[in-house]
Amino acid sequence: MELYARVRRAVVVDKMSEREAARQFGLARETVRKMLRYAVPPGYQRQQPVRRPKLGAWIGVIDQILEGDKSRGKKQRHTAKRIFERLRDEHAYAGGYTIVKDYVRLRKLSQREMFVPLAHPPGDAQADFGEALAVIGGVERKVHYLAVDLPQSDDCFVMAFPAETTEAFLEGHNHAFAYFGGVPRTILYDNTKLAVARILGDGTRTKTRAFSELQSHYLFAEKFGRPAKGNDKGKVEGLVGYARRNFMVPIPRYATWEEFNEHLLTQCQKRRERRLRGHQQTIGERFERDREQLLPLPAARYEACDKRSTRVTSMALVRYRANDYSVPVEWGHREVLVKGFVHEVVICAASEVIARHPRSYEREDMIFDPLHYLALLERKPNALDQAAPLAGWDLPEGFTQLRRLLEARLGKKGKREYVQVLRLLETFARPEVTRAIEDALRLGAISFDAVKHLLLCRIEQRPARLDLENYPHLPAARVATTAAADYLTLLSQGSY
């Protein structure tokens, strides 16, 4: 470049002739003329496309191989070396490897996708699930978190769940809309099975019932990206990675899911204070433009649950997601509706809630409520000791002592009376029943009727009097007066 400048100055400024400049600088006269035409070296300019005389006959074969690779997995596509080997072995190619490698590299570069910068209007959103590790309740497990991004302002919402399920998808939307204070006008998704039941041949989507209900409740419009094209919703894809790196490193450790999600919510709120590159305002200040375009929240939240109809088995169990949950025995063999929430399973029949259980994410687990089986055990008291629903039922010591005394006094009937005492827990709180049992043990009144009487007296706040007149169904005790002549019968039994 220094020589270039000296030649140009000698000719243009010092008025040296082109012939003299070529002689003094040892250059061809045509080179001097080119230096005068361009202020800087123009570089080599190819006038015709590259000719590949040795490879030209096989370019079509290479293109065909590369085109076929598009429909195969990334880990099982041809490398340049493998293409060279196939040309040599199958097509009698006699050229070298380097020209094959260079052509394959250029061909792959030309096939790489290009993208158009997008503008995001206020009020639009993108949503997607991500995965990370966390310790919840002392157990390390994979968590699935729903990330919702508002691309115009870069505001975000993140919430974690035990599994990527329909109920988690719905519940996450409820909380996201509450956090934003409104509903985005349009939400962009991938083709998750939680929202898309089927993609038809013309590209239209058949939506799932749950997603259609959610959309009808909140009235937002939906968009779906191209299958297997994450760049269609690049904003939320970036948020998924950002949340994992910044909200969940080091690995979070919390006692409950509620505490973990409180942490994530706090992180989202803190992020509103950031000012991102290329913007003069913070995320929170830019979010105000989004807020103005959000749809209003409906009066009530959507019931975020997975609904399934099923039949109760002969053991008063209902199966949901590979686990069995108990219902009261009187509902055996009937049709019921199971509502699977994120942390709870609710079972309904005839518009009535008949059972509630904590949600289990194990497989082939059995979740019992002992109260559901007491009516059946009253009819079958011999099954009391082997009843699986009662195994591990943690009752106060007074219950065990009462059962021992009842069975010692009444034998088999004592089991039935003990079950009748347990059935008081169907109606009354455990502390109240426990205190009534303690009163009965202290008074030595070992019976179901005595426990029930003492319990009602406590609730009604009246003195506890064990008066048999309150129980007319019991046989009255008749005690006759003893006469001296009665003792004569003893003398007739033997001689003394």
- Residue 416 CB contacts under 8 Å (≥ 6 apart), including other chains: 378, 381
Residue 151 near residue 235 (C-beta atoms within 8 A): yes
- Looking at residue 471, its pLDDT comes to 52
pLDDT range class, residue 472, cuts 50, 70, 90 = low
Name the nearest CA neighbour of 237 among 248, 249, 247, 225: 225
Residue 407, SS3?
A: helix
- Looking at residue 315, its pLDDT comes to 96
- Residue 78 CB contacts under 8 Å (≥ 6 apart), including other chains: 65, 66, 69, 86
- Looking at residue 71, its pLDDT comes to 85
Helical axes 97-111 vs 59-69, angle rounded to 10°: 50
Taking residues 217-222, report their average pLDDT: 96
Residue with tokens 């049709």: 335
Torsion of CA 86, 92, 95, 97, to 10 degrees: 10
- Residue 52 CB contacts under 8 Å (≥ 6 apart), including other chains: 59, 99, 103
Phi, psi torsion values for 276, nearest 5 degrees: -80, 160
Q: Report CA Rg, the chain.
A: 41
Where residue 41 falls (left for φ over 0; alpha for ψ -120 to 50; beta otherwise) is beta
Chain centroid to Cα 457, Å, comes to 49
pLDDT range class, residue 229, cuts 50, 70, 90 = low
Cβ-in-10-Å burial (0-12, 13-18, 19+) of 47 comes to: exposed
Portion of the chain with pLDDT greater than 90, in percent:
67
Torsion of CA 451, 455, 456, 459, to 10 degrees: 180
Residue 252 near residue 141 (C-beta atoms within 8 A): no
pLDDT range class, residue 316, cuts 50, 70, 90 = very high
Widest Cα–Cα separation across the chain: 169
Portion of the chain with pLDDT greater than 70, in percent:
92
Residue 162 preceded by cis peptide, ω within 30: no
- Looking at residue 481, its pLDDT comes to 67
Torsion of CA 51, 79, 232, 265, to 10 degrees: -140
Q: Is residue 192 over pLDDT 70?
A: yes
Taking residues 305-333, report their average pLDDT: 96
CA 447/CA 436 separation, integer angstroms: 11
